[in-house]
Amino acid sequence: MRTSSRRALVLVSAAAVSTALLTGCGTKKADDTAGGTPTTAAATTDASPSETPTATPTPGPTASSSPSPTASPSATPSRTAKPSPTASASTAKPTTAKPSAPVQQAAPAPAPPVVAAAPAPTAKPGPVAPPPPPAPATPHVPPLQSGCTPSKPQPDEPKETVAAALVAAAGQTRVLNLSAGGTDKLPALPVNLVKAIAWQESGWQSGILACDGGIGTMQIMPATVSWMNSKFNTTSDPKTLTGNVQLGTQLLDWLVAYYGDSSFGGKYDLSPDPATGKTPLLDLVVSAYNAGAGNVHYNTVTDPATGAVTGSLAIPNPSYVANVKALMSSQPWNKAG
């Protein structure tokens, strides 16, 4: 009986031991299958180094102390674990593609404007005017108007002699050599114009020398001598009365041709206009004798409504022009002793 009891006790103990062993083996298998505590601990340890750089002082959902399932390759689940859809969603955030800005097409180049062919220029009835000489820096100042005292390198000729020389020079019809080639025959000058210019310039003093270099009765500037002699094929000497008035009247002829050709269609008429009483060509010639042709201009304007052409004078010395025209009317030389 006692033996049977011991045997039964031994059998019971053996069965208990077997049950315990079987129970331990099942737990180990379940832990291995579900990714138990040892694997989770390893994942937490491995994820710690990669977690540190992502932690920032700014509080927020990304600063959580729990490791992210995608924080490190070492946190990848075991081969028996299935990937979590939450992890993949947090890893690949959906992005909405922004529509690209429309490409601006280059504007088509504007068509070039249609330019109508300009009509061919027509020749003027008169000769082509030669280009004006370089304008002097300042107009010539006659000795009667200058503030300095002119010199008298030689005595004056009598007034009657001067008058005769002026009349003879004004009555000549000269031939002008044009710069573009050819010649131009000029009409005689008005006698009162020549006398008035000489009176305005020097008071008919043939021996006077102005402070600015003007010589004699017509106050010929040194540069004018060679210029006029070449234009008219002459060899006039400004220090003689005859040569002096020749050079002065030659300059007046050249100015008549220059402005007559360039502004009045080759017309050389210095008389007043019958309708208006104005003398535009005369005013230009008188002004340029004193100021230089480069400083005196004639401008035309066409009225778009009527087509009428009007001209305007650009004269830098209107008082000089007014004085000469007044002398042409008053003729003070006839009263002088």
Stretch 220-224: mean pLDDT, rounded? Answer: 93
For residue 300, the model assigns a pLDDT of: 81
Q: What is the pLDDT of residue 170?
A: 97
Residue 135 pLDDT: 58
Q: How far apart are CA 269 and CA 256, in angstroms?
A: 9
Tokens linked to 121? 């220029």
Lowest mean pLDDT among 44-48, 287-291, 307-311: 44-48
325 has pLDDT over 80? yes
81: pLDDT strictly greater than 70:
no
Supply angle C-alpha 135, 279, 126, rounded to 5. 70
The one-letter code for the residue type at 79 is R
Interval 145-190: pLDDT, tens: 878 899 999 999 999 999 999 999 999 999 888 777 778 889 999 9
Determine the Cα–Cα distance for residues 99 and 80; give it in Å rounded to an integer: 43
Q: Looking at residue 178, what is its pLDDT?
A: 78
Average pLDDT over residues 210-226: 94
pLDDT at 183: 81
CA–CA dist 207, 58 (Å, integer): 108
pLDDT score for 337: 56
CA 214 to chain centre: 42
Report the chain's mean pLDDT, rounded to a whole number: 72
pLDDT reported for residue 133: 58
89/104 Cα distance (integer angstroms): 38
Q: What is the mean pLDDT of residues 80-92?
A: 41
- What's the rounded Cα separation, in Å, for the pair 193 and 57? 106
Q: How many CA atoms lie within 13 A of 319 on its CB side?
A: 3
Q: What is the DSSP string of 135-161?
A: PPSS----TTT-SS--B-SSPPPPHHH
Higher pLDDT, 337 or 331: 331
Residue 256: band (very low, low, confident or very high) from pLDDT cuts 50, 70, 90: very high
Residue 106: its pLDDT value, please? 52
The owner of tokens 């025959």 is 185
**Residue 32 identity:** D
- DSSP lists the bridge partners of residue 220 as 215
**What proportion of the chain, given as a percentage, has pLDDT over 70?**
59
Tell me the C-alpha distance between 166 and 191, whole Å.
8
pLDDT value of position 177: 80
The mean pLDDT of 123-150, rounded to a whole number, is: 67
More confident residue, 122 or 219: 219
| Rounded percentage of the chain residues whose pLDDT exceeds 90 | 42
**Residue scoring higher pLDDT (72 or 174):** 174
Q: Are strands 309-314 and 297-302 parallel, antiparallel or unpaired?
A: antiparallel
CB 257 within 8 A of CB 184: yes
CA distance 243 to 169: 10
Tell whether the torsion through CA atoms of 178, 328, 283 and 208 is positive or negative. Answer: positive
Whole-angstrom Cα distance, residue 327 to residue 321? 10
What would the 3-class secondary structure string for 224-272 be? HHHHHHHHHCCCCCCCCHHHHHHHHHHHHHHHHHHHHHHHCCCCCCCCC
pLDDT at 287 over 90: yes
Q: In this structure, how many other beta carbons lie within 10 angstroms of the beta carbon of residue 329? A: 8
Task: Say what the pLDDT of residue 32 is.
Answer: 42
Give the pLDDT band of residue 202 (cuts 50, 70, 90). Answer: very high
Q: What is the pLDDT of residue 249?
A: 97
DSSP for 5-30 reads HHHHHHHHHHHHHHHHHHHHHHHHHH
φ/ψ (deg, to 5) at 40? -65, -40
